[in-house]
Amino acid sequence: MTALTENPAVYLDYNATAKVRPEAVAAMVRALELTGNPSSAHASGRAARAVVETARAEVAALAGAVPAAVTFLSGGAEANALAINSAVAAGFTRLIIGAVEHDTVRETALAGGRSVAIWPVDGDGAADLAWLERELSAGDGRPLVCLMLANNETGVIQPVAKASAMVRAAGGWLHIDAVQSAGKIAIDIEAPGADTLSLSAHKIGGPQGVGALLAGPRATIVRQLHGGGQERGRRAGTENVPGIAAFGAAAKAALADLPRLAADTAGRDAFEAAVVAAGAEVLGVAAPRLPQTSCFAAPGFASELQVISLDLAGVRVSAGAACSSGKVKASPVVAAMGRADLSPFSIRVSGGWATTPADWARCAEAWLKLNERRAARRLEVA
């Protein structure tokens, strides 16, 4: 028996991508065994279409939407881009985005060459509602406001319902990036009055390369890929039937799992208590957070060194968002919280549907050993 078999790696990077659920694998295999284009009128095509529509209903249920609201896409990045571009095309050209939004929101907003107001956060990473109220009342034009439901690095849950009331009163469009919160906390597109909401399969235990944009009754989606009339004319191109089938199965399983996961903070909290006792600081701890996300910093202990050292110890975590081509860099999210001093030293530990308390305990044990060795080396140098 190898050492790896005796002590398998602990995966605590669910916010980058979740472990694939067995239900998703089974659904994908079944779909791969089908032969038929979902746009074909014959029996094989109808069978493929049935798979897509079943998945559409399953994904809609996860977000409290009707199936017709769901447009299947390649992932969260395309969903965010389609939401922003659709709002701009509808005349919502005054862009306001949160300071801790995902790069796909920030870069899409800036790519249009328009003025973009950056909405600040407080020291815990929660959006500043007083600032939003002032911004909405001061400017001209129809506002497009982008606010993630929960931050991908800190897990801080944003006040979307209160923000929505302000945006509606100002006649604006609200886009919610729910990619990171789906399957971890309850989502309901209608409750906050969102116009659009983005999801991604691989964050909930589905495959990479498939996502969805959900549209509220006021939103008109303007397609960016032209050609056929797939996805109710919103996105041309033959649907990714196996990926969509797996997405639907993952959404169904995630919804069933939600009560358990939403209450599952014990492992995370014990982990944080251990690292804080060793001198680390947890970020966003005073704000509501996703149940299995922890972002913390140990001053002087570089992020990249922590990530690499933990990897060598068999524990997989990350520093910041996992969208930088494998690079480890200082977190702009932590800097936006007014803690630029901790930005080069922060890492993110994130669990999910298959995470156990033992995983958190092993991560704590590994990190504490690394921190002790670092402290010992510093004493030797001194």
Q: Name the percent of the chain lying above pLDDT 70.
A: 95
Q: Is the pLDDT of residue 5 over 50?
A: no
Residue 331 has a pLDDT of 85
Are residues 129 and 266 located together in one domain of the fold?
no
pLDDT band at 1 (very low <50, low <70, confident <90, very high): very low
Instruction: Write out the residue range of the structural domain in which residue 333 sits.
Output: 3-17+262-381
Cβ burial, residue 7 (10 Å; 0-12/13-18/19+): exposed
Are residues 205 and 225 located together in one domain of the fold?
yes
Of 216, 234, 257, which residue constitutes the final position of a domain? 257
3-state DSSP assignment of residue 97? strand
Residue 379 has a pLDDT of 63
Are residues 206 and 310 located together in one domain of the fold?
no
Give the 3-state DSSP-derived string for 272-338, with helices as H, strands as E and coil as C. Answer: HHHHHHCCCEECCCCCCECCCEEEEECCCCCHHHHHHHHHHCCEECECCCCCCCCCCCCCHHHHHCC
Q: What is the CATH number of the domain that holds 353?
A: 3.90.1150.10
Average pLDDT over residues 75-101: 96
Residues acting as catalytic residues: 323
Mean pLDDT over each residue of the chain, to the nearest integer: 93
Are residues 81 and 210 located together in one domain of the fold?
yes
Are residues 228 and 268 located together in one domain of the fold?
no
Residue 204 near residue 18, CB atoms below 8 Å: yes
Of 218, 233, 257, which residue constitutes the final position of a domain? 257
Angle at Cα 174 formed by Cα 173 and Cα 177, nearest 5°? 145
Q: Is the pLDDT of residue 378 over 80?
A: no
Q: How many CB atoms lie within 10 A of CB 173?
A: 26
Q: What is the CATH number of the domain that holds 73?
A: 3.40.640.10
Are residues 358 and 301 located together in one domain of the fold?
yes
Residue 325 has a pLDDT of 40
Of 221, 237, 257, which residue constitutes the final position of a domain? 257
Q: What's the CA gap between 161 and 242, in Å, rounded?
A: 35
Q: What's the CA gap between 257 and 183, in Å, rounded?
A: 8
Q: What's the CA gap between 255 and 11, in Å, rounded?
A: 22
Are residues 284 and 247 located together in one domain of the fold?
no
Are residues 33 and 81 located together in one domain of the fold?
yes
Residue 235 has a pLDDT of 92
Average pLDDT over residues 260-274: 96
Facing residues of 156 across strands?
Answer: 289
Residue 181 has a pLDDT of 97
Are residues 10 and 92 located together in one domain of the fold?
no
pTM above 0.85, yes or no: yes
Read off the pLDDT of residues 170-193 as tens digits, 9 standing for 90 and up: 999 999 999 999 999 999 998 888
What's the total number of domains in the chain?
2
Residue 75 has a pLDDT of 97
Read off the pLDDT of residues 292-320 as tens digits, 9 standing for 90 and up: 999 999 999 999 999 999 999 999 999 96
Strands 173-177 and 196-200: parallel
Average pLDDT over residues 213-227: 92
Residue that has been written with the tokens 């009560």 in this structure: 259
Are residues 224 and 307 located together in one domain of the fold?
no
pLDDT band at 4 (very low <50, low <70, confident <90, very high): very low
Residue 263 has a pLDDT of 93
Are residues 26 and 11 located together in one domain of the fold?
no
The Cβ-side half-sphere exposure at 94, using a 13 Å CA radius, reads 15
Are residues 33 and 171 located together in one domain of the fold?
yes
